[in-house]
Amino acid sequence: MTKADLVDAVADEGELSKRQAGQIVDLILDEITGALKKGERVALTPFGSFVVRSRKAREGRNPKTGERIKIAARTVPAFVAGKSLKDAVGGARR
């Protein structure tokens, strides 16, 4: 599913124009992005949560030359699926 597919689905379900649906989808994504930039957790119960994780600095290698390089510490966005999403996608575990 692409963003355009999502906009189409929102427009159809909400009986909105594609422009209105696109604005809503963009607003939601902007709000999620803004919260993550502040380091906040975004919980969409029972779907899942968007979180920010810290990665430590580490040493890596340039795959072309094999030369060692330093990879700086950074923060990255991550998604943690909620129980209902896990159940819907993967079914019950044994």
Name the pLDDT band for 90 (thresholds 50, 70, 90). confident
Q: What is the pLDDT of residues 55-82, one digit of tens each?
A: 999 999 999 999 999 999 999 999 999 9
Q: What is the pLDDT of residues 22-32, one digit of tens each?
A: 999 999 999 99
Burial environment of residue 52 by CB neighbours within 10 A (0 to 12, 13 to 18, 19 or more): middle
| pLDDT score of 12 | 96
Angle at 57 between CA 56 and CA 59, to 5 degrees: 130
| Architecture of the domain made up of 42-94 | Irregular (4.10)
